[in-house]
């Protein structure tokens, strides 16, 4: 956090502009900071929130680059060069480090992470960013298929595909497939000249899909086809236990305070397994901030949806990428907790596409124009 603050200070970040353009996001953080007062451990809750806010600072470091899209792509691609190959190495040749052995005799392939779902999330985000980077390179220059950098990325993609399959993280696999579908079908939305028409079509499609699923149970059939039971590997049982807890429905238990409280510990005892998340980002937000927190989150998502759709009509690769990751983030949080989560790339990428800040070159142009006007006025005075 300190390094990010130093960088942003040297770049003369306009905090007033950041807060003004992202009122909902900063309102959420202000509310969660206030919620530490009624948390089980106020000091620990405030500490976790400050650490989480460090993610916002790191995102701002990228957004204040001359080319945020290139900076973000380069960051994720370089991280994938470390995380994916080392995960393969640990799983294949150092199972004591790359494989988690469960008490009842099962195993989870975790690689360099601490859980298979975390590994799946990493592969999901890094794999899609590598694909975006490959497309960007192919569009910008006529690069040979046998170019060294392309071969490296193809090799990393092969490793990521293998990890995505063996990790057995169905949420990550489905989001990966949905992400590719959304990315390559963006052109259908671009046929509408008005962004509001595109938004209306998206919402109508979701409503129709919900009605069809409620009628024919498509999701249940799909879950069974993927080899999962209808409890989503015990998630629905966890949700039922959480709904039975008598928390304050309006303001929740304070940021990250539920699982440290006796109520959170009782869920672990009733489930006969140690858990520290609701496996649903929206339910997790409810536990932390009640209906107030959920309402702020919904406003944040809807505001971001409008922004992403509007940006999509810029018809560039960055806009397509933002729309893809927005859809993935919203879906992913139905079976995993990804909002306000330190160290999870799904939250980092969501902030990256949702935070509204003008490009650095725009700020530089304005500054240069102001400087020119000042010098002209000075010459006139002389």
Q: Please, what's the largest Cα pairwise distance for the chain?
A: 85
Question: 223: pLDDT confidence band, cut at 50, 70 and 90?
Answer: low
Q: Give ∠ CA 197-198-202 in degrees, rounded to 5.
A: 120
d(CA 343, CA 114): 12
Q: What is the DSSP letter of 37?
A: G
- Report the percentage of the chain scoring pLDDT > 90: 44
The per-residue pLDDT for range 61-71, each reduced to its tens digit, is 999 998 888 89
Residue with tokens 């690769």: 317
The per-residue pLDDT for range 53-93, each reduced to its tens digit, is 999 999 999 999 988 888 999 999 999 999 999 999 999 99
Question: What is the residue extent of each domain of the chain?
Answer: 13-64+231-356, 76-168
Greater model confidence, 10 or 369 = 10
Q: Give ∠ CA 17-25-12 in degrees, rounded to 5.
A: 30
The per-residue pLDDT for range 225-283, each reduced to its tens digit, is 666 666 666 778 888 888 888 888 999 999 988 888 888 888 777 666 677 788 889 99
**Which of 4-18, 137-151, 217-231 shows the highest mean pLDDT?**
4-18
Greater model confidence, 119 or 199 = 119
pLDDT for the residue 372: 39
What does pTM read for this prediction? 0.86
Q: Which residues contact 142 (CB under 8 A, 6 or more apart)?
A: none
């Amino acid at each position: 956090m300190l390094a990010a603050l130093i960088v942003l200070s040297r770049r003369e970040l306009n905090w007033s502009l950041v807060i003004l353009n992202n009122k909902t996001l900063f309102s959420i953080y202000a509310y969660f900071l206030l919620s530490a007062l009624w948390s089980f451990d106020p000091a620990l809750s405030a500490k976790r929130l400050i650490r989480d806010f460090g993610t916002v600072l790191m995102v701002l470091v990228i957004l204040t680059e001359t080319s945020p899209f290139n900076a973000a792509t380069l960051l994720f691609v370089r991280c994938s060069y470390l995380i994916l190959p080392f995960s393969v190495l640990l799983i294949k040749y150092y199972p004591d480090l790359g494989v988690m052995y469960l008490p009842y005799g099962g195993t989870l392939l975790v690689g360099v992470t601490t859980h298979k779902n975390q590994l799946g999330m990493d592969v999901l985000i890094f794999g899609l960013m590598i694909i975006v980077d490959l497309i960007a390179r192919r569009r910008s220059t006529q690069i040979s298929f046998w170019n060294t950098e392309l071969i490296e990325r193809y090799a990393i993609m092969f490793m990521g595909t293998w990890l995505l399959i063996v990790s057995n993280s169905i949420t990550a696999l489905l989001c990966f497939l949905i992400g590719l579908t959304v990315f390559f079908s963006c052109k259908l939305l671009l046929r509408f000249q008005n962004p509001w028409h595109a938004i209306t079509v998206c919402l109508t499609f979701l409503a129709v899909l919900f009605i069809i699923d409620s009628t024919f149970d498509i999701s249940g059939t799909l879950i069974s086809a993927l080899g999962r039971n209808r409890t989503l590997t015990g998630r629905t049982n966890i949700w039922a236990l959480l709904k039975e807890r008598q928390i304050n429905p309006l303001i929740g238990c304070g940021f990250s305070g539920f699982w440290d409280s006796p109520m959170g510990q009782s869920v672990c005892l009733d489930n006969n397994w140690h858990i520290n998340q609701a496996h649903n980002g929206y339910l997790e937000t409810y536990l932390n901030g009640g209906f107030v927190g959920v309402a702020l989150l919904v406003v944040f998502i809807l505001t971001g949806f409008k922004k992403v759709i509007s940006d999509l009509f810029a018809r560039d690769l960055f806009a397509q990428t933002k729309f893809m990751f927005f859809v993935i983030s919203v879906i992913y949080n139905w079976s995993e907790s990804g909002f306000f989560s330190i160290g999870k790339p799904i939250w980092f990428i969501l902030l990256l596409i949702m935070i509204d800040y003008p490009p650095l070159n725009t700020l530089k142009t304005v500054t240069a124009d102001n400087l020119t006007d000042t010098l002209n006025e000075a010459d006139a005075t002389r």
